[in-house]
Amino acid sequence: MSEKADKPNVLYNGKIITVDKNFTIVQAVSIQNGKFLAVGSDEEVKASAGQDAEMIDLKGKTVIPGYIDSHNHMLVMGLEKQKVSLASARSIADVLRIIGDACKAAGPGKWVETTQLGFEPQQLKEGRSPNRWELDTVSSNNPVLHVEHLHFPCANSYALRLANITKDTPQPVGGIIMKDPATGEPTGWLSDVAAERVKALIPKPTHGEKVEVLKSIMKEYNSLGITSVIDTFVPLENLEVYRELRANGELTVRSKIMLPFGPDILGAPLTSEQISLGPKTISRQAGLGDFGDDMLRIDGLKTMLDGGIQGALFHEPYMVIPREQEAPDYRGTLTVPEETLRGLCIRAAQAGWRVGIHCLGDAGIELLLNIWEEVNRQTPIESKHWVLVHGFLPRSEHFERIKKLGVRVACQTAHTYTMGGDMVKWWGWERASRSNPVKEYMRNGVIVGGGSDAHYCEWRPSMLVWIDLTRQSKWAGLLGSDLILTREQSLIHHTINSAYISGDEDKQGSIEPGKLADLAILSDDILTCPVEMIKEIEPLMTMVGGEVVYQRQ
């Protein structure tokens, strides 16, 4: 899409929630040349726009700034939708039947991979997913990877054989090969780095397939009112998919790309030499000029410090131990050795990169802040606003250190909703209830942006607001009633604060003169409708740069 110069548009007779610093609500807004021109009363805005302006009667509808997802995997989300869905499964027998049918359809020797979209083991009557040997009963002729969670999939025997994973395979740094305590045989369950040995064998979609998938998922995002994402772990080969769509005027979601560095977990990472070249040179090499533009740019680097729900790094032991015979006081896993992570951060700072690091547990956050404070003493990073990604369980003493470093936090309550059951299982009720404390970050003056971490979690913005307002989890009930946000706080979290995560607060995130004209017209008043109705709210229209990218028929 392109931001075109034309006569002003005036949206009037509405309830426009500007999300400016005063959370001002006005009747009308005018748009010209892709930006907001004026906000105010119907009379004021119509008068300032002139007689040639095109008038759009909102008929009392509510308008908000376009949702900004500050931690997303947009292309991966689209690709996940192409995999085998287990959303309808309610038992292990159902899972096996679906996977067995997919194997027959694929043909002998072909890979079958399930998606975690719409699936969690709690939906099965057994409360768990099938293991390697159960998968084998329906997939003896096919390698299978059952993805209960991207950080924690299960491979059948065929796939383990192809990856040369046996009971004698040593535990890799940054991952776990789950083994049967009695026999030592792999159960099929693999976490993080261990899973990459299997994932690397699965055939990848072609460039053309990725282009079509990205176009399709952007349409879905626009229909949800999403106008901008920070898309993380995007390798350079996938950045080319975005660049092609941008060049063709087909990119309809503003995309800030974080390239992978460090271990190869979710995409080919930059080499040390590429990191040293700096963001401007890499941007040029990617065909985006020095800095890209407001529709597409490289926003920094991303890596992981600890694992997912089964690997978050804590000071206190887990409630469930994944390797009981080896680690009776298991406290999580580092996905990259501490010295390696320190060296990567030093190199990135020296080259001028912004950095975002996935970090969940309190011990992980402690370690990360120690490293970043050391980096900052050598090469100041405060003005770069590095990003603590997720930050599930900070300690009270961490908030001041985060602020002092200029760090911003991308924290998603969607995790508590989608994965709350697993949090309770692995961590215990108390830690699960304190997870994703957006309210605590806000109360302590930390800039915290919202989002979904799609495709891992619930991604629909109206649902995300409802989760903020209820702290309900999908399988474990209410987790953390003292952390419930107000409606105003939630909208701030998913708009202007998310703009801060990428340093775009002067361009996006609120409806103010001079900012990019990204907005959504909603089907209901998100500030006054019953709380349970919020998750049913849908955009009637979505604009990006003043252009309509979605309109409900």
pLDDT tens-place string over residues 265-286: 767 899 999 999 999 999 999 9
Confidence of residue 323 (pLDDT cuts 50, 70, 90): low
Contact predicate 98/89, CB 8 Å = yes
8-state DSSP, 348: H
Confidence of residue 326 (pLDDT cuts 50, 70, 90): low
pLDDT of 150 over the 60 cut: yes
| Helix (H) / strand (E) containing 349 | helix 338-350
Closest CA to 478 of 425, 441, 429: 429
Calculate mean pLDDT across residues 118-128.
Answer: 89
The per-residue pLDDT for range 368-415, each reduced to its tens digit, is: 999 999 999 999 999 999 999 999 999 999 999 999 999 999 999 999
Rounded CA gap, 445 and 461, in Å?
24
Calculate mean pLDDT across residues 474-488.
Answer: 96
Domain contains 544: no
Among residues 153, 169, 199, the one where a domain terminates is 199
Alpha-carbon distance values, 302 to 110, 118, 225, 258 (Å): 32, 26, 26, 6
Alpha-carbon distance values, 506 to 21, 228, 402, 513 (Å): 12, 14, 22, 11
Contact predicate 458/418, CB 8 Å = yes
pLDDT of 234 over the 90 cut: yes
What are the helix (H) ranges across 379-436? 398-404, 414-427, 429-434
**Are residues 373 and 226 located together in one domain of the fold?**
yes
Calculate mean pLDDT across residues 287-309.
Answer: 96
CATH number at residue 215: 3.20.20.140
Surface-to-core class of residue 392, CB atoms within 10 Å of its CB (0-12 exposed, 13-18 middle, 19+ buried): buried
The per-residue pLDDT for range 75-100, each reduced to its tens digit, is: 999 999 999 999 999 999 999 999 99
**Are residues 256 and 131 located together in one domain of the fold?**
no
**Are residues 165 and 230 located together in one domain of the fold?**
no
Calculate mean pLDDT across residues 9-32.
Answer: 98
Surface-to-core class of residue 184, CB atoms within 10 Å of its CB (0-12 exposed, 13-18 middle, 19+ buried): exposed
Residue position matching structure tokens 């043909």: 107
**Are residues 246 and 282 located together in one domain of the fold?**
yes
3-state secondary structure of 236: helix
Residue position matching structure tokens 């059948």: 156
pLDDT of 128 over the 80 cut: yes
**Are residues 390 and 268 located together in one domain of the fold?**
yes
Rounded CA gap, 496 and 448, in Å?
10
Residue type at 309? I
Calculate mean pLDDT across residues 447-467.
Answer: 94
CATH number at residue 134: 3.10.310.70
Calculate mean pLDDT across residues 103-107.
Answer: 97
* C-alpha dihedral, 329 to 335 to 336 to 337, nearest 10°: 10
- List CB contacts of 78: < 8 A, sequence separation 6 or more: 213, 214, 216, 217
116-120, 147-151, 292-296: least confidently modelled range: 147-151
pLDDT at 266: 65
Surface-to-core class of residue 341, CB atoms within 10 Å of its CB (0-12 exposed, 13-18 middle, 19+ buried): buried
pLDDT at 41: 98
Domain contains 394: yes
Domain contains 448: yes
Among residues 199, 228, 261, the one where a domain terminates is 199
Looking at every residue in the chain, the average pLDDT score rounds to 94
Among residues 199, 223, 258, the one where a domain terminates is 199
191-205, 514-528, 533-547: least confidently modelled range: 191-205
- In three-state form (DSSP H/G/I as H, E/B as E, the rest C), the secondary structure along 435-456 is CCCHHHHHHCCCCEECCCCCCC
CA angle 228, 229, 233 (to 5 degrees): 160
Domain contains 347: yes
User: Which parts of 78-185 are beta strand (E)?
Assistant: 84-85, 112-115, 144-146, 154-155, 175-179
Domain contains 59: no
Alpha-carbon distance values, 538 to 464, 485, 549, 552 (Å): 13, 21, 14, 9
Neighbours of 430 (CB within 10 A): 10
pLDDT at 530: 98
Rounded CA gap, 348 and 520, in Å?
37
Domain contains 370: yes
Domain contains 16: no
Tokens representing 330 are 């298991």
**Are residues 185 and 216 located together in one domain of the fold?**
no
pLDDT at 113: 97
Rounded CA gap, 234 and 302, in Å?
9
**Are residues 195 and 315 located together in one domain of the fold?**
no
Domain containing residue 338? 69-74+207-508
**Are residues 462 and 492 located together in one domain of the fold?**
yes
**Are residues 160 and 229 located together in one domain of the fold?**
no
Alpha-carbon distance values, 71 to 257, 260, 441 (Å): 10, 14, 17
Domain contains 214: yes
Calculate mean pLDDT across residues 50-74.
Answer: 96
**Are residues 278 and 171 located together in one domain of the fold?**
no
* Overall domain count for the chain: 2
pLDDT at 191: 86
The per-residue pLDDT for range 500-533, each reduced to its tens digit, is: 999 999 999 999 999 999 999 999 999 999 999 9
**Are residues 358 and 286 located together in one domain of the fold?**
yes
pLDDT of 5 over the 60 cut: no
**Are residues 218 and 195 located together in one domain of the fold?**
no
Surface-to-core class of residue 343, CB atoms within 10 Å of its CB (0-12 exposed, 13-18 middle, 19+ buried): middle
First CA to last CA distance, the chain: 21
Contact predicate 2/249, CB 8 Å = yes
Closest CA to 546 of 36, 77, 191: 36
| Helix (H) / strand (E) containing 496 | helix 496-501
pLDDT at 181: 85
